[in-house]
A = this chain, B = another copy of it.
Amino acid sequence: MDPDLSALDEYLDETDTDGYLLDADSEDSDQYYLSGFDAPDPFVTLYDGETHLLFPRSLEFGRAKREARAESVQRYVDFDHAELVDEYGSDEAVSHVLARFLDSYGVDSVAVPPRFPLKTADGLRARGVEVAADTDGVVTEIRATKTDEEVEHVRVAQRANERAMAAAEELLADATVADDGTLEHDGETLTSERVKEEIEVTLLRNGCSLDETIVACGADAADPHDRGSGPLTADEPIIVDIFPRDKTTKYHADMTRTFCKGTPSDTVREWYDLTERAMDAAFEALEPGATGEDVHDAVCDVYEDAGHPTLRSDDRTETGFIHSTGHGVGLDVHELPRLSPNGGELEPGHVVTIEPGLYDPDVGGIRIEDIAVVTEDGYENLTEYRKRLVV
């Protein structure tokens, strides 16, 4: 994929900066997006209208020359690294190498993302290079708007995600309830860990990987970031939140369903219906020109009107709707745009989650999440998975 970097050209022009600089491994999605190169150790990418890569060692050199989307690929050794180590020591030598690399392209000033490494920046400043951290990271901002090809990558990942969700739902549906209320499957206690394993193996078999999955029941589920552990129990909501990455394309998907084996309480039923309504309200607000805050407000309105606290009504609340409505999804599972307070204007090509939820340790947690792309005249939901509470 050839990204459209015209916004980066404009940014450099407007800020009167010679280049944009990254120093990161390709787990950093800006780095992967700008360099087109996948490497486990940090390397440097300079963009000055063209893309130039610099590697500490020779190890990645050959592969970078073949695979990277770059006009040039160089190594420290190409800038007299050994001599500079003798003269300045190995630590300071790096900043001299980087300064020479920038100088070879006539670059005296660089913009960098907010999380650019301080030591590299201080080293360059000591060599007389101007280094300014930009606000959200202009490459991160560019990444928010997906090409059709990128949307397709997310869609494909969501299909794999749906197979994994189906495997989880089936395990729960097939479970029986023991006398003490815990779920059993194949004669064994059905745990959060067992369901996660099924999800993860299904994803692997479908070309995806993931570091974490959430299968959280009862009080665990009342904490949106609790991954869940131990036996699952009947009559309580079980949140299943899966956010895999396609191993080939590196794009993510994201989906949440809440299931209940047995009989949910009236409160859980009410929360589930309300969350479905909050989701509908969010989708109604989702269109180009609306802001992420508009979409978030639509969800807060539904919850607050029903008497639930939100972070908008009480910024210290630990129950109710205690997170934002959604986030961008792409190379990162959490990226721009934000569907939250201060969330900016939505544009066609933004891929976002819509994930309202309610939480209280005394009740548990409810969350439902789809993923959608903003289109010219509204949105397209990329999720094809049904919603049902009782399995």
Contact = CB atoms under 8 A, between A and B. Distances in A.
Interface of A: 39-41, 57-63, 75, 77, 82, 90-91, 112, 114-122, 131, 133, 135, 197, 200-201, 204-205, 209-212, 223-226, 311, 315-318, 322-323, 334, 342
What are the nearest 5 A-B pairs in CB distance? A114-B119, A119-B133, A115-B117, A116-B118, A118-B133
A58 B200 contact: no
A390 to B, nearest CB: 28
In this complex, the member of A59, A82, A91, A210 whose beta carbon has the largest number of chain B beta carbons within 10 angstroms is: A59
B58 A91 contact: no
A316 B205 contact: no
Contact of A40 (B75, B212, B223, B318): B212
Nearest to A224: B59
Contacts of A61: 318
Contact of A63 (B133, B209, B223): B223
Contacts of A135: 91, 119
A358 to B, nearest CB: 14
A87 to B, nearest CB: 15
A226 B318 contact: no
B200 A209 contact: yes
Contact of A59 (B40, B118, B131, B225): B225
A225 B315 contact: no
Contact of A117 (B114, B201, B225): B114
A315 B40 contact: no
Contacts of A200: 204, 209
A70 B63 CA distance: 44
Contact of A118 (B63, B114, B197, B210): B114
Nearest to A76: B315
Contacts of A58: 311, 315-318, 322
Nearest to A78: B316
